[in-house]
Amino acid sequence: MDYTKVWLNYRPVKSASAQVFSLCTQEKGPIIDNIFAEFDTALPAMYGIVPVHGYKDGTIPIELSLDTVLHAEAYRIEKNEKKISITAGAHVGLLYGTFALLRFMQTGKASADFTVEKSPSNPLRMANHWDNMDGSIERGYSGKSFFFADDKVIVNERTRDYARMMASVGINASVINNVNVRFSAPFLLTERYRKPLIEMAKIFAGYGIKLFLSVNFASPVRVGGLDTADPLDKNVQVWWRDTCKDIFEDIPNFGGFLVKADSEGEFGPFAYGRTHAEGANMLADAVRPYGGIIVWRCFVYNCQQDWRDNITDRACQSYLNFIELDGKFADNVILQIKNGPVDFQVREPVHPLFGGLKHTNMMIEFQIAQEYTGQQRHVCYLLPEFREILDFKTYNGEEFDTVKDLVSGKNYGYKNCGMAAVMNTGNDKNWTGHDLAAANLYGFGRLAYEDTLTPEEIAQEWIALTFGNESQVMENVQKILMMSWPAYEKYNAPLGIGWMVNPNVHFGPNVDGYEYDRWGTYHRISHSAIGRDRSSRGTGYSQQYPEPLASMYDQIETCPEELLLFFHRVRFDHIMSTGETLLQYIYNTHFEGVEDVEKMLTMWETLKDKIEPESYARVLERMQFQLEHSKEWRDRINTYLYRMTEIPDAKGRKIYD
Ligand code: GCV
């Protein structure tokens, strides 16, 4: 099959003497087979010699064994001159230990003796695919689905490589279909698709991955032929129980359901006057006998707003819909909360539910499909953003209340929680459209397993594994990645205001794209001011945070500047901390953003002879596009503001009139 092996493209380890390894273990099973297959692929590629299976004199044994004191997904690697041992709580831990060892070997960190022990930070590390059964992918920017085509489930060699890729970074759950469960997708629950799903799940099981499905809350009607989907109706409950019995019995590593309810036209418990807790708990009862989990999304808001209505605030709504239900969800329900209150904009405050919910399992939802961050045609390495969000102190409690503490369940005793990301994969040759977008996929998985890693550490690993660790490659690609999110933010909608994109497609600058629309995302630019007042004097959104955050966000003077226009309506002559007016600050950052992209492009061009030609060319083409497109962003936004204010750029640069 014609696709790349991304970061699993093992290459010779420089200066390593040819070494014969022997693979030794008492363990047996599908995961062990996959571990052997991985060593059989990787070791000859890196060291030039095929490993021996079983003990043999004169070889370096790699011993795999279990130590049930360790967590099932934890591993310990001990390496000395004579042998390497990987110990884990269960086979899946041995698999993670194997990928870690190969990573050390490939990145040149395995030459000396070492011992390393790792245990996953987050119980659930989940991929959310928005793949539709016709093969399209909602917000997909890397080709078509490799899970579905023409209303059929696809299982082939790529399924295995997908599972292998996910396991290599520690992802242990995959929701393969879109949260908008339409057309034939509700029937994934039924016999119609059972056979290929069993096959797919079997492959996943060999890589420690649980299969999840997104389900339509109206399934009892759409699929089951009942006349209601009311969660308190006995027949509905029986229907879900029977359906779950069948699916869990057929698929031993079935994990449960992801649910988007009462959101953007998806059906939900509100239709029957029921709460989301009643809806989620009914499903939780149905999956409980099998250890199943319900992941229930908090992305619930009114998408039929009138733009003239200046009181209703989309940012407030997710919190308002869920805060009263705190403590009412079953223990096998997890609320999946987007990182911010609106929708994956380049800059948003951390979602206030993280600071608010005290008795509810929570999981964060990131998006690595770059819907609003360049759609995988711009480089936008999102790990610095994720790092900031995970480290954000929510003031949910007195201590241990950063987002990462809450979603990992650390110190709270939660076992159902974790991190999810909307995926950026498709059937493109390089999996992620932009070769550099694979860093987001790699990084999400690594961070979910080890939530203290820095974006720089992750970038270094990924670059070395993907392109090799030649120093200029390491240096330039790292700089490109680390500059990319700040650069994107500079030339995009300013200071947290968001949107300014073309409706529906969400790509390309369009300052008024959503201004008079029903989606509740307005900038309200006039000749003298910009922004929405979300303080206590405005929509009151700032007050959804605990103190001291509520007071901090409430005042222009104390609001973090990068979120100024998210929280406040601000005059263009407001003086920023840099001493510039707000207007001049926006002009400046838009010029700077483009200059940053110019630098990124030049850094890439210097790598021409050091990167595999096809990959070099693919990235080059996209970065050239990014440069032109960033100019379009700069000029649209600057021109719009210049026309409104008639105040020219203090530095006399070209702004179109
Ligand atoms: C899957 C945004 C996207 C939608 C997406 C929705 C969601 O509104 O534009 O495509 O739907 O978020 O997260 O449910």
DSSP letters for 191-232: GGGHHHHHHHHHHHHTTT-EEEEEE-TTHHHHTT--S---TT
- pLDDT, average across residues 422-447: 98
What's the gap in Å between 267 CA and the centre of ligand 1?
A: 14
pLDDT score for 14: 78
Whether pLDDT at 572 is above 70: yes
Q: Is the CB–ligand 1 distance for residue 260 below 6 Å? A: yes
> Residue 506 CA: which ligand 1 atom is closest?
9
**Are residues 623 and 483 in contact, defined by beta-carbon separation less than 8 angstroms?**
no
Domain boundaries 468-532+569-657, corresponding CATH code: 3.90.1330.10
pLDDT digits (tens, 9 = 90+) for 240-269: 999 999 999 999 999 999 999 999 999 999
What's the gap in Å between 508 CA and the centre of ligand 1?
A: 17
Q: Is the CB–ligand 1 distance for residue 79 below 6 Å? A: no
> Residue 139 CA: which ligand 1 atom is closest?
10
For residue 18, give the DSSP letter: P
Q: How confident is the model at residue 172 (pLDDT cuts 50, 70, 90)?
A: very high
Q: Is the CB–ligand 1 distance for residue 343 below 6 Å? A: yes
What's the gap in Å between 125 CA and the centre of ligand 1?
A: 20
Of residues 38, 266, 313, 371, which has the active-site annotation? 371
Q: Is the CB–ligand 1 distance for residue 164 below 6 Å? A: no
Q: Where are the domains of the chain?
A: 6-118, 124-453, 468-532+569-657
> Beta strand pairing status for 293-297 and 333-338?
parallel
Q: How confident is the model at residue 650 (pLDDT cuts 50, 70, 90)?
A: very high
pLDDT score for 413: 75
pLDDT score for 411: 74
Of residues 131, 161, 266, 343, which has the active-site annotation? 343
Identify the helix (H) or strand (E) that includes residue 634. helix 613-645
Q: Is the CB–ligand 1 distance for residue 130 below 6 Å? A: yes
Pocket-testing residue among 139, 302, 370, 505, ligand 1, by greatest number of atoms within 8 A of Cβ:
139
pLDDT digits (tens, 9 = 90+) for 124-139: 999 999 999 999 999 9
Q: Which amino acid is at 163?
A: A
Q: Whose CA is nearest to atom 8 of ligand 1?
A: 343
Whether pLDDT at 619 is above 90: yes
Q: Is 371 a catalytic residue?
A: yes
Query: Which residues in 522-538 are b (16+ Cβ under 10 Å) and which e?
Result: bbebeeebbbbbbbeeb
Two tokens, residue 432: 């992620």
φ/ψ of 195, rounded to 5, equals -60, -55
Domain boundaries 124-453, corresponding CATH code: 3.20.20.80
Q: What percent of the chain has pLDDT over 90?
A: 96
Q: Is the CB–ligand 1 distance for residue 139 below 6 Å? A: yes
Whether pLDDT at 112 is above 80: yes
- pLDDT, average across residues 536-540: 98
**Do the domains spanning 6-118 and 468-532+569-657 agree at the CATH topology level?**
no
Q: Is 117 a catalytic residue?
A: no
> Residue 371 CA: which ligand 1 atom is closest?
9
Cα–Cα distance, 228 to 238 (Å, whole number): 12
Burial of 579 (0-12, 13-18, 19+ CB in 10 A): exposed
Q: Whose CA is nearest to atom 12 of ligand 1?
A: 343
Whether pLDDT at 17 is above 80: no
Q: Is the CB–ligand 1 distance for residue 299 below 6 Å? A: yes
Q: Which amino acid is at 10?
A: Y
Rounded to a whole number of angstroms, the CA Rg of the chain reads 25
- pLDDT, average across residues 113-125: 97
Instruction: Tell me which fold the domain 6-118 belongs to.
Output: Chitobiase; domain 2 (3.30.379)
Q: Is the CB–ligand 1 distance for residue 180 below 6 Å? A: yes
pLDDT score for 2: 86
How many CA atoms are closer than 13 Å to the CA of 151, on its beta-carbon side?
A: 6
pLDDT digits (tens, 9 = 90+) for 335-357: 999 999 999 999 999 999 999 99
- pLDDT, average across residues 44-50: 93
Of residues 264, 309, 324, 621, which has the active-site annotation? 264
Q: What is the mean pLDDT of the chain?
A: 97
How many CA atoms are closer than 13 Å to the CA of 452, on its beta-carbon side?
A: 5
Question: SS3 for 447-459, per residue?
Answer: HHHCCCCCHHHHH
Q: Is the CB–ligand 1 distance for residue 148 below 6 Å? A: no
Q: Is 428 a catalytic residue?
A: no
pLDDT digits (tens, 9 = 90+) for 354-405: 999 999 999 999 999 999 999 999 999 999 999 999 999 999 998 899 999 9
- pLDDT, average across residues 70-90: 96
Q: Whose CA is nearest to atom 11 of ligand 1?
A: 180
User: Which residue has 């926006």 as its token pair?
Assistant: 586
Q: Is the CB–ligand 1 distance for residue 179 below 6 Å? A: yes
Burial of 198 (0-12, 13-18, 19+ CB in 10 A): middle
pLDDT score for 16: 64
